[in-house]
A and B are shown apart, each in its own frame.
Chain A
Amino acid sequence: MSEERFEAWLKEHAADYHRPPAEVPRNEMWDAITRTRAARPAPVAGHIGSRISPVRYAIAASLLIGAGIGLGYWMRGPDAVTPAVVASLPAATDSAIRSATYDVASVQHLTAVEALLTSFRKDERAESDVAMRRWARDLLASTRLLMDSPAGEVASRRQLLEDLEYVLAQIVQLDPNAPAEDRAMVDRAINREQVLTRIRSSIPAGFPSGT
């Protein structure tokens, strides 16, 4: 009885908590939405890439590629067959080389993200979240660089990078003391957008898996 009284009292008195105004500013918000969507080249606003010069893209891409290729050789050993996408580089034009370079960087990046997301889903220990968040933060920065580089000009890849940005941002923001539901929300976002499946289908055969 006391419990029911408390619940009734609570509902009555808590109703004022953050009570929304009766009038929803529909038109103002719609105007802001259409303005934002029309103004930006990228669907997600506020990327750090909008303030970064092309030279930095190139440096970041080179670092990514260098690290990726080094990691690839290390993981596959000296006798491994070179992936087809790399083998095609010498015969290509400047434009094709540039495009292939970003392709390699993207694939290498996706491989790393796949490894992170797989680890995240397997490992539910809160104490590993700090390392996980640090890892996710690095990959989030790389994701944004790629989104704002020529690698982000391919529509399907761009969509995937945007979804990765969303998921990685959620992991970065995970509080170490957050309840399991917070992790479940991230997990659900990974499932809903079929992120892992799309990443794996974007990685050509021959590249070492991230898992």
Chain B
Amino acid sequence: MSEGRLSKRGAEVPEPDPVSESQLIARAIEGDPAAQRALYDAHVDRVYRLAYRVAGDDDLARDFTQEAFIRAFDRLPTFRREASFGTWLYTIAMSVALNGIRSIRRLRTREVALDAAESLGRRDRNADPDLKDRLHRAIEDLPPGYRAVFLMHDLEGYTHEEIGEVLGIQSGTSKAQLFRARARLREVLADFAGAWIA
């Protein structure tokens, strides 16, 4: 994953220099707390942003972020440098967040069944007060794979190549997932079509 190309995420934190990051990793493996903290500082904003986008809750985002770094530091000796440290870390973070939120969702009872287009009927096209709520619930109800790609690409600005590396899929699959996610959202929000056609 080539880092430093993205404008939306982590703009306030400069991208780590690959050489110094490699040295930091070596020192972190030896247990140097300053090196571990430096790696953490370089990547925590992006990890937290991703975790928050998935979880939508500060406590959960913190838990997922912490768990991701704990796992990453524990496994640092096995990091093989085939990908960048960032990609490796974001892969762990997304896995922790997606698995975590899946477990939590399984435990929660859905308060509202979303069958939006059929059950809510036609609405005034331009001024529906619950557009935002409907959109958010429609995103929430996307299949996990679609949702992950949508969040990473459209909301966090990752490229399809980066998404492919982090999620372990082909970049073409990422594009297809995004296309399907948008199509599904468009279908579910069909009665708001006036908002984007006008």
Contact = CB atoms under 8 A, between A and B. Distances in A.
Interface stretch (B19-27, B65-73, B112-120): B65-73
Contact of B95 (A11, A25, A189): A189
Contacts, number: 143
Interface stretch (A30-38, A85-93, A127-135): A30-38
Contact of B102 (A10, A33, A175, A180): A175
Interface of B: 33, 37, 40-41, 44-45, 48-49, 52-56, 58, 61-62, 65-66, 69-71, 73-75, 77-78, 80, 88, 91, 95, 98-99, 102-103, 131-132, 135-136, 139, 143-146, 148, 150-151, 154-155, 167-169, 173, 177, 182, 185-186, 195-197
Interface of A: 2, 5-11, 13-21, 24-26, 28-30, 32-34, 36-37, 43-45, 159, 162-163, 166, 169-170, 173, 175, 178-182, 184-185, 187-189, 192-194
A94 B69 CA distance: 40
Given A9-B196, A179-B145, A185-B95, A173 B103 contact: yes
Contacts of B61: 20
Given A11-B154, A33-B40, A17 B139 contact: yes
Given A33-B69, A36-B66, A187-B168, A14 B173 contact: no
Contacts of A33: 40, 66, 69-70, 73
Contacts of A173: 99, 102-103
23 contacts: A9-B196, A10-B135, A13-B135, A17-B135, A18-B52, A21-B58, A24-B44, A24-B45, A26-B45, A29-B62, A33-B69, A159-B75, A162-B74, A163-B75, A175-B102, A178-B143, A178-B145, A179-B144, A180-B145, A184-B167, A185-B95, A192-B80, A192-B91
B62 A181 contact: no
B154 A25 contact: no
Contact of B155 (A14, A169, A175, A184): A14
9 tightest A-B CB contacts, nearest first = A188-B168, A9-B196, A18-B56, A20-B52, A43-B74, A181-B145, A179-B145, A20-B49, A5-B196
Summarize A's interface: helix, strand, loop or mixed: helix
B55 A18 contact: yes
B182 A20 contact: no
Given A9-B195, A179-B143, A14 B135 contact: yes
A16 B151 CA distance: 11
B75 to A, nearest CB: 7
B70 A45 contact: yes
Contact of A13 (B77, B131, B146, B177): B131
Nearest to B139: A17
Nearest to A179: B145
